[in-house]
Structure formats: structure tokens, C-alpha cells
Amino acid sequence: MAEENRTERATPYRRKKLREEGNVAKSPEIAPSVLLLIGSIVTFFLGAAYLGTIGDMFKLLLLSTHVNVLEALVYSFQHVFKLLLPFFVIPLVVVILSHVAQFGFIFTLKPLSFKWERLNPLQGIKRIFSLNLLFEMVKNTLKATLFLLVVYMIVKGEIYTLLLGSVQDLGTSLRAFILLVFKVVVVLGVLAVFLALLDYGYRRWDYERRIRMSKQEIKEEIKQHEGDPLIKSAIRKRMRQLARGRMFKEVPKASVVITNPTHIAIALRYIQGKDRAPVVVAKGKGSVAEKIVQIASESQVPVVRKEELARAMYPAVEVGEEIPPKFYRAVAEIIAFIMYKRKRWVA
């Protein structure tokens, strides 16, 4: 389908299917950039402690005799493990959190499944000469140029300190050099994170553009998962007909029908000692109201014309429910009058 026809946002179902396949918006640059920034900061603040521990291990090994050399090796191994543990844990945590922050937690093996098209050399050639690859090459070239420019500006600003270190003692010169390297790495890390966020924003926009759907695709999806709209409409129509049929069967059991005069009809049933309040057994407008009045007349159910009461009661009551208390007095007067007339007629 032509790209210009895909004008609608992807439906939740399509997004769910793509997510199950591992097809989500993500930037591969966020994890390494964040890792560069956090790793450089951690290394800088723990570097002194690491150097001191490494120095102590070397001293221990050099001063150990052949009797306790094994103990020295075990001691050194334990400290090496503690030193290297953060460099395994921190990258793992950073990578997991950076991916979860982008698209949440997903566990799927579908991206690893075998696909024959991956073996197609024509597809490989298309990927090599694709616009996306060209875009990535240009982007990476510009990033490298920007990083080199930033390094040049930082080193240029610190050139006096570097030259001064040549006439200072070794410790001071080394400390100044380490601070300069730390400054360069942190600035590059911050810049890398900023560029990675921009890249994520672009990939998010591009992802939304690529998963857009046409109106026809949305209609087909609705038909597939929610049913054909025509069939659903026919089912609803049939259900309304059945409900009206059941409602019309209750009209002969009504105590009174209140009308306005034929635009609205509300059939009420009240059985003394059984019903706590009058119950709506049928209601309707237009042709439905006319049918209710017709059935009531044929069944000798009293039809009372009360225009204001009918208009006020119609939106406030539902079939099968008792009338609200605010209508008790008006309806009670009507039912009492009907019962009075019946008694007189019987007498």
C-alpha cells in the first residue's frame, strides 16, 4: 500500500503485535553513552582506592616467601575480584535500565528466529546501499568531528597547565593530566548522552511514521477482532427488537400508561403489597409509544395524558426500575384515582 495512504496512528492491537515481535522504538546509542559517562565518573572516584589496593597486592606478592605465596595469591585474587566486580555489575545495570527506560520490559525470542530473507544476497545489497546506512555514516562522521572539536577546545584551554606540568614534580604533573583526561571524558559523555537522546527522539518519530496505518487497514482490523460493523449493527438491531418484544408483552400487566399524548408513553405497574414503588415495565417515543398505547387500549389498561409528568419522567426512569421518589406523589394520585374509578365501576 502506498505510503501516502498511511495517515492514521497505529492501533493498540498493532502496537502490541509489534512489541511482541521486539519491534519497538529504541536508540542503540543511549546505553553506551550513559555507560561512558557513569563509568568515567565511577572510575575517577574509585581510581585512587584501586591504585592503592593494586599497590598493596604487588607489595604482598613481592615480599612473600615461598611458604606463604599461596596465601598471597588467594588474597590477591579475592581483591582483584572485588575490584573488577563493579565493572561487570555497572555495565549490566546501565544496559538493562537504558533499554527499560526506552520501551519497558520485553522478553521475546522472535528477533532471534531464523528468516530465509536474511540469506538473500539481494536484500543484503539493498541494506548496504540503503538510505538508512548512508544516514548512519553521515551521522557518525559528524559525531566524530564534533567530539574531536570538543577535545581540541578543552585541551587548548588547558595547554598552559600541560606545559606547566613539565617543570613540576611527577606527582603534580600526573594529577593534572588525570584531571584533564577526566574532564575530557565527562564532557564527551554528557555530549554523547545528549546526542543519544536526540537520536532516540528521531527514531521514535520515525518509528511512529513507519507503523502508521491506512483507514482500510484499521477497518480490516476491526472486522477481524471486533466483528464486521454491518453484522454488529444487525445484531444490535435484532437485540433491540427482541427487547421491545419482551417490553410489549409486559404492557398488559401495567397499572397505567402515562402519555404525552402519543410522543411519549410510560407504562407503570404497581401491585399493592408486592411492589415497593411503581415499576416501569415499558417506555418509548414515537412509533414505540403509539404501540404501547395501542396494546394498553386493547388490554383495557388505563391511559392517562399527563404531558409534564411524562416529559419529566422519561429521561429519569429505565425499564425494569422503580420510579424515583420525586415522582411518588404525582404517580400515586394517578393510581389512586384509577383505583377509585374501578371501585365505583364495580359498585
- For residue range 271-282, list pLDDT tens digits in order: 887 888 888 888
Distance CA 216, CA 4 (A): 13
- 217 with 256, same domain: the answer is no
Instruction: Confirm whether 28 is domain-assigned.
Output: yes
| Number of domains, the chain | 2
CA-based nearest residue to 58, from 79, 31, 89: 79
CA-based nearest residue to 5, from 229, 226, 219, 225: 219
Instruction: Confirm whether 227 is domain-assigned.
Output: no
pLDDT (0 to 100) of residue 168: 64
Distance CA 313, CA 269 (A): 15
pLDDT (0 to 100) of residue 244: 75
Instruction: Confirm whether 237 is domain-assigned.
Output: no
pLDDT (0 to 100) of residue 25: 83
The range of the structural domain enclosing residue 275 comes to 250-346
Question: What pTM does this model have?
Answer: 0.53
Q: Which cell numbers in the block locate residue 278?
A: 411503581
Distance CA 76, CA 334 (A): 100
Query: What's the Rg (C-alpha) of the chain?
Result: 41
- 151 with 53, same domain: the answer is yes
Do 296 and 267 meet the contact criterion of CB atoms below 8 Å apart?
yes
- 42 with 107, same domain: the answer is yes
Summarize pLDDT for 193-205 with one digit per residue, the tens.
Answer: 999 898 888 888 8
Distance CA 268, CA 323 (A): 9
Do 251 and 281 meet the contact criterion of CB atoms below 8 Å apart?
yes
Which residue's C-alpha cell is 384509577?
Answer: 338
Q: Which CATH number characterizes residue 301's domain?
A: 3.40.1690.10
Determine the distance from the C-alpha atom of residue 306 to the mean position of all C-alpha atoms in its chain, rounded to a whole number. Answer: 53
pLDDT (0 to 100) of residue 67: 45
pLDDT (0 to 100) of residue 347: 46
- Give the list of residues 6+ apart from residue 221 with CB closer than 8 angstroms, or none: 11, 13, 14, 213
Q: First CA to last CA across the chain, in angstroms?
A: 82
Which residue's C-alpha cell is 420510579?
Answer: 323
- 107 with 14, same domain: the answer is yes
Q: Which cell numbers in the block locate residue 47?
A: 581510581
pLDDT-flagged residues of the chain (< 70)? 1-4, 47-80, 107-132, 161-171, 225-232, 234-235, 243, 261-262, 344-347
- 218 with 254, same domain: the answer is no
Q: With helix as H, strand as E and coil as C, how does 173-193 read?
A: HHHHHHHHHHHHHHHHHHHHH
**Strand locations in the chain, DSSP E?**
256-259, 264-269, 279-285, 303-305
pLDDT (0 to 100) of residue 2: 47
Total Cβ atoms within 10 A of residue 167:
8
Angle at 335 between CA 333 and CA 341, to 5 degrees: 100
- 187 with 74, same domain: the answer is yes
Environment class of residue 260 by beta-carbon count within 10 Å: exposed (0-12), middle (13-18) or buried (19+)?
buried
Q: Which cell numbers in the block locate residue 35?
A: 555507560
Query: Is residue 202 classed as helix, strand or coil in its secondary structure?
Result: helix
Total Cβ atoms within 10 A of residue 267:
29
Which residue, of 175, 203, 222, is where some domain finishes? 222
- 194 with 340, same domain: the answer is no
CA-based nearest residue to 204, from 129, 79, 103, 303: 103
- 66 with 105, same domain: the answer is yes
